[in-house]
Amino acid sequence: MRLRRIGASLARLPIRLRLAVSVAAVVFVILVATAVAVGTLTAHRLRSDFDSQVYSQTVNIANLLHPDFRNNQLGGTQNFVNYASVTGAAARISLADGTPYIHTPSAPYLGDPLHPTNSIDGYRVASVEVNFGVGDTDSIIVQYGLPVHPLAMEIGNLELLLALGVLVGTALAFAAGSLVARRAIAPIAELTAAAGEIERTRDPNRTLPAPIADDEVAELSRTLSGMLASLSEARNETETTLERQRAFVADASHELRTPLTSVLANLELLADSLKGADLEIAQSALRSTQRMRRLVGDLLLLARADAGYAPVREPLDLADIVIEAASELEPASRDHALELDVQPTPVVGNRDDLQRVATNLIENALRHTPTGTRVTASTRPLPDGTAELVVADDGPGIAPDERASLFERFVRGAGDHGRSFGLGLAIVAAVVNAHNGGVAVDESPHGGARFTVHLDSLAVPAEAEAAPVSV
């Protein structure tokens, strides 16, 4: 379970860091195993050499002695004391029955000479029996001990050096792994940067960097380059198809305007001369023809906008345009309270297109709100040099999840009931974008919908004052 958590944590790390950690972990395991083996063998060898040293020193001390028990003397005792004291160790001599005979100054108890031991109280002890007399019938026991503290310190220093070596080696392995991983991933980082630039510019014709080595990264680069080439070709084909469609829509719309105008004129003349049921049929056909003419006009305007058509622009007052649009829609606004709050707002634009924007926004508010709703249209210049047109209502409003697609073509609102083509707001967005402006929708202060248009403005005369107008 813990290994799974560690694996999951490593999986969330960047590849470069994962490679460095993996290399460091492998080196760490190898160094630990090596350090344990070297430390164990070296400590065993040091202890073995220490034991050999203790035994050899014991034998050397025994060789210094010249026991003469017939005269109740033990020769060489002074040499024994001096030799044992110089080594910093401790030594004892006992008789054959275990009775203590002589020892070095401050020598600790080194165990029972009749039952010798290897270590006691921090000393490593060796015992040697020395025989003498006729037939080696008499003997003494020599005990010699060295403190193991220096040996323990030496082994401890060895273990510390090995541990430091493991840590330093692991750190160096991590640094080397990071360097190698960075150099190995550098081509991938270049590909990522190039892909990010392509995403930013949306230009599939950019060339991806080709790694020097013919490896997996080079294969990835070739695959991505082929994919981009295919996308570029598909994009060109799509743009060509769309351009043909735009041209067809524009040409068809332009060609349809003349016959529709003729049909509309004839239907109007025919309606004037008919009565009864025939008049109703003619008026129905007249309404359908007018609807078709508006649709053709909308399609032509959108086709021109898609083609980048720039209409003639001139200095205008956005307030006058809103007043004209409201006057045209007055018959359709009798069931609503249409209010204007306009200030002189000079702009540079095309009068027909901007009037289309104001008309569509006000008509959209009238169409999608219930009877008795208040609709407000206002204009004003802003301090940042732009002009603002706002159309707001206190109707049911627009759901936030519907606002993103509101300016797309052929999108109808919930209260439309098939009375429009779904192009009104798309035309608003196209015209505003063609005038280098912007349009947004949010919630009005009264809870309904509010459409805000920003356009480039002209300098407002100092003597111009706000003049609210009500319709």
pLDDT at 468 over 60: no
Q: For the domain 6-155, what is the CATH code?
A: 3.30.450.20
Which of these ranges, 32-36, 37-41, 341-345, 402-406, has the smallest mean pLDDT? Answer: 402-406
pTM of the predicted structure, to 2 decimals: 0.47
- Looking at residue 138, its pLDDT comes to 72
pLDDT at 115 over 90: no
User: Averaged over 108-128, what is the pLDDT?
Assistant: 85
For residue 120, name the pLDDT band (cuts at 50, 70, 90).
Answer: confident
Q: List the chain domain ranges.
A: 6-155, 216-306, 314-470
Closest CA to 64 of 50, 49, 84: 84
User: Averaged over 417-434, what is the pLDDT?
Assistant: 75
**Bridge partner list, 128:** 142
Closest CA to 302 of 231, 249, 341: 249
Distance, in Å, from the CA atom of 361 to the CA atom of 413, rounded to the nearest integer, reads 13
- Looking at residue 413, its pLDDT comes to 60
pLDDT in tens, 229-242: 888 888 888 878 77
pLDDT at 367 over 90: no
Q: How far is CA 369 from CA 336, 339, 374, 393, 429, in A?
A: 9, 15, 9, 8, 21
Q: How far is CA 470 from CA 154, 322, 362, 449, in A?
A: 102, 12, 14, 20
Query: Which of 1.10.287.130, 1.10.3720.10, 3.30.750.24, 3.40.47.10 would CATH assign to domain 216-306?
Result: 1.10.287.130
pLDDT in tens, 402-425: 877 888 877 766 555 445 567 778
- Looking at residue 250, its pLDDT comes to 66
CATH 3.30.465.10 is right for the domain spanning 314-470: no
Comparison of pLDDT for 1 and 180, the residue scoring more: 180
- Looking at residue 67, its pLDDT comes to 57
Comparison of pLDDT for 185 and 147, the residue scoring more: 147
pLDDT at 257 over 70: no
- Looking at residue 467, its pLDDT comes to 40
pLDDT at 7 over 70: no
Distance, in Å, from the CA atom of 30 to the CA atom of 22, rounded to the nearest integer, reads 12
User: Averaged over 110-115, what is the pLDDT?
Assistant: 84
CA max distance for the chain = 171
pLDDT in tens, 168-212: 999 999 898 888 888 877 777 788 888 888 878 777 777 777 777
When the pLDDT of each residue in the chain is averaged and rounded to a whole number, the result is 79
